[in-house]
Each structure stands twice: as structure tokens, then as C-alpha cells.
Amino acid sequence: MTSPRASESAADLGTAAADLAGASAALVANLLQHVEELVDDIVADASGVARECTDLWGIAAGRAAEVAGTVRAAPRFVRVAGELLRIIAAYRWHGTVDQARMEWLGADVEGLDDLHTRSAERLYALCVEMRGGVLKLGQFASSRVDLLPAPYIAALGRLQDRVPAVPAEAIAARITTELGAPPERLFRRFDPVPIAAASLAQVHAAELADGSRVAVKVQVPEIETVVEADLAALRAVAPALRDLLSFVDIETVAAELIRSVRAELDFTAEAVHAEAFARCHAADAGIIVPRVYRALSTRRVLVLEHIAGERLLDYLDACERRGEPGALDRDRLFEILIGSFCAQVLEHGLVHADPHPGNFLVVPGADGPRLALLDFGCVQAYAPARRRAYAELCLAVLSGDAARMGTCFEAMGFRSRDGGTEGLRAFAVLLLEAFRADGVFSAQNIDGRAAVERILALTRDNPIVAVPGDFVLLGRVFAVLGGLLMRYRPRVNLFRLLLPYLTRAT
């Protein structure tokens, strides 16, 4: 049975949406008679939000044990969906009314760059205020330089900083519920101050009875309900985003984002992934994967071996200050990092799909720096046939075979509006620009901004209307690693790194 508060919230949303649509319609009619489609779109968006809210309550009614939490999330859904729709409406207004006012009446209107900056800051403020799934999605978006204008990348990039911690009492209560005893009984020492705080969980240092140092990852209390409200809001506004990002397969991207965020709430699956990564990299002396303590882990609490190391970006920044010895360590570290992801994609078929710099630590080793992989909540699996397909695409890129690139893209499920692959090939050719004759990566050879603008121009003229779902997270990996390469400009021989994996995969 739907609760009164839920009905009131849904009714308030419907009333507000109707008022907004009515006011918008009246204003548009006074200004121009030829923008009726804008009004229709706003009304359709509002109706979609109302339907999505109704669906949310229908799900809640079937989950009696979770109704209270979902009801509390109702204002959150309204807040998130409403703010996203306001941002979308501002772009539609700019694309129709403002442009018409400027062209027909000579009126001064806000420029598109200014609109990007203002909207990006609004979205950043929303993510900081609401945290949860909204913050997680914002962090994901910040790495997609191929999707969003520069002001969004700059604003959302700030979301990668430390998230405010959840009170220690709430974390202790979560541990007690999950493991049947409070932290002081389970651990010889438990630090109430977290060593890391993120959108969905936070990590505390602890010590077992035998003296082993561990990292205790605890899911934020009631985050499940919060995330579902946020994902419902994303589903509600996705159709409206299609018009703004016509060059992106927004439905596939949104569906994959929803799947991956939900997957990150299952720490049991994360434990399985961590153990699988440990097996895959057991023979790689440069990679460290923390041990899982299964007896102290549940779906919402995960206890791992504590790795003492330096944050990746801090280490790389320090390398720049150490001259040539630091450059050598930087290059070795990038060889380890890139080699690991080559192995993940082309050999193991299990990819760490959240390569945020905070998920890596640098540990001193006898032969130089080693790299510790952390956080296995977001993982993408690839079957052998898919690994071969990516290997064949890579070979086509490295050989500069444009026709073969197009065939590979089509076979893998990429589709553009007119059936061509110019935009996709431009992206692949961009990679070739990073090589000199000796096969050593050279970021100096790339004008990153010009290259991205060139790709976006092609994809806007001929939008990519379909991308395979398993490429969404891999695109995130490429974006993050590419950003690190452009920032630190290591000297690495990509041909030498890639060739063994390509040979085995094909």
C-alpha cells in the first residue's frame, strides 16, 4: 500500500511539473509562436518524471521491509530529477528561444560556453549535496572527455577529491549488524577515523588479533535506498538527454552505468573479483592485490589486507621533482600500469573498470616501484571471443588499416547514423599519432584538445547511435589512462608492451 507521504511527494512533483510546464508554455507563447515543440518536450519530460516516480513507489509497495527507507528517499528523487531537468530545460531554452531572440530581435543572450559553465557548477553542487549514486555518476562522467564539454570535465573532476566521512557511530552500527559484534570485539584495534571515504563506502584501518593489519571497507548505511532513488532519476531524464547528446548512445551508457553502480553495492562479488585478480596477476611481480579475509566479510562489509603505499598521483608528482632517476621510476610504473590493463583486457578477460588514481598505491620494491590495485567493485568481464575482437581492432589501429578498423567496429556492434565509421576511425587514428618510428609513446606529438574537438565534430555530424554495452566501462578506462599519459608523458614502448598480448589473443 502506498504511504501518504509517498503519495504527497508524488502529487507535489506532479503539481510542480504541471506548474512549470504551464508557465513555460505561457512565456514561450508570448515570445514566439514557433517553438511549440519546446513546450511539448518540457511537458513530456515532466510526465516522464511523474511516471518514473509512480514506478518507484510501485516497487516500494512490493518490498514491505524497505518501504520506510524508500519513502525517506522520495524527496531525494524529486530533488535529483528536478535539478537535472532544470539543466536540460536551460539548454533547450537556449537552443530555441534564446537563439531566436538573438537572431530575430537582436537581444543579448547567454552564450553557450557560459551556459556550460553555469550548468556544470550546478551539477557539481548537486553531486556534493546529495552524494550517494549521484556523486558516483558524476565521478564517472568526469572521466568522459569524449562526451562532455570542457567546463563539465573541470567541474566534475573536483568530485574525485575526498568525500566527507560518515560518522563513526553509524559505521560501527553497520559492522555490528553485518558481523554480529561491534568493531572493538572483532578487531584488536579499529580506527574510527577513515583512511578513505567515497560515495558508496568508506575504509577504516584495523588490526586483527594476530597483529595483521587490515583495511575494513564498510558500506554507507541506507545507501541502497539512496542509490535506487538516484538511478530512478537517471532513468527518468535519460530520454531528455538524448537530444542534448545526440552523438552518444545514451540508453546504452545509462543502462551500463546503472548496472555497474548496483554491482558496486555487492561486496561479496567484490571479494570474488579481488581473489580472481590475485590469481591472474600472481606471476606479475610488479602488481600487488590485497588478500581477502572471507570470515570477516559480508555483502556490506569487506575486510582486506592493508597495503602500505603512496598514492599514485603523489608518487608521480614526486618523480617529476627527482630529475632523471624519477623519470626512470615514472616510466617503469607506467609500463606496469599499461601492461596490467593489456593483460586484463586481452588475456584474463577481467578488467578493473574504475581506474581512478585513488584506487592505486605505489609500493617500494627491490627492482623499483610496484603497483597495488585496490577496489574491485566495478569489474568488466570479457569472453575469449570478445578479447579476440578487441585484439583484432588493436592490430588494425597499429597497422593503420582504416578499412579493417571499420570492419572491426561494425562486427563489435558500433553503429553510426548513416552506417559509416568516420568518427570511430578518427578516434583510432588519434592513437597512431602518439607513436614515433621507434614505437615509443610520445604525448608531445598530440594536441589533445584539437584531437578531441576533431572527433566530436565528426561524431556530431554523424552520431554514434549504438555502442556495445561492454565498451562503456572500457571507454572509462581509456579516458583515465589516457589522461594520465597526457599529464605525465612517460617514455614507454607500447608496441613492445602490446605485442605479446595481441599475439596470444589472436
- Is the CB of residue 346 less than 8 Å from the CB of residue 340? no
Rama region for 222: left / alpha / beta (φ>0; ψ in -120 to 50; rest): left
| Catalytically annotated residues | 354
Question: Are β-strands 287-288 and 370-373 bridged in parallel, bridged antiparallel, or unpaired?
Answer: parallel
What's the pLDDT at 483?
76
- Is the CB of residue 469 less than 8 Å from the CB of residue 255? yes
- Is the CB of residue 413 less than 8 Å from the CB of residue 467? yes
What's the pLDDT at 454?
56
Give 218's strand partners: 202, 301
Determine the Cα–Cα distance for residues 237 and 355; give it in Å rounded to an integer: 27
Residue 34 belongs to what H/E stretch? none
Residue 46 C-alpha cell reads as: 515532466
Give the Cβ contact number of residue 449 at 10 Å: 10
User: What is the pTM assigned to this prediction?
Assistant: 0.71
Strand segments (E) across 316-471: 350-352, 360-363, 370-373, 379-381, 415-416, 464-466
What's the pLDDT at 334?
95
Determine the Cα–Cα distance for residues 284 and 270; give it in Å rounded to an integer: 21
What's the average pLDDT block by block, 10 residues per block, for the chain (506 residues)?
A: 48 48 45 43 46 42 39 69 83 66 52 84 87 80 66 80 81 96 97 89 96 96 86 79 64 77 91 97 95 97 96 94 94 94 94 88 93 93 92 82 81 75 62 49 52 55 68 78 83 84 86
Residue 469 C-alpha cell reads as: 554495452
Question: Mind giving me the DSSP string for 356-379?
Answer: -GGGEEEE--TTS-EEEE---SSE
- Is the CB of residue 334 less than 8 Å from the CB of residue 488? yes
What's the pLDDT at 146?
53
Domain assignments of the chain as residue spans, ordered by start: 4-160+223-260, 168-221+266-288, 311-506
What's the pLDDT at 129?
83
What's the pLDDT at 244?
64
Question: What are the backbone dihedrals phi and psi of residue 206, each rounded to the nearest 5 degrees, phi first?
Answer: -150, 175
Give the dihedral of Cα atoms 287, 291, 292, 295; nearest 10 deg: 170
Query: What 3-state DSSP class applies to 2?
Result: coil
Q: Is 168 exposed, middle or buried (0-12, 13-18, 19+ CB in 10 A)?
A: middle
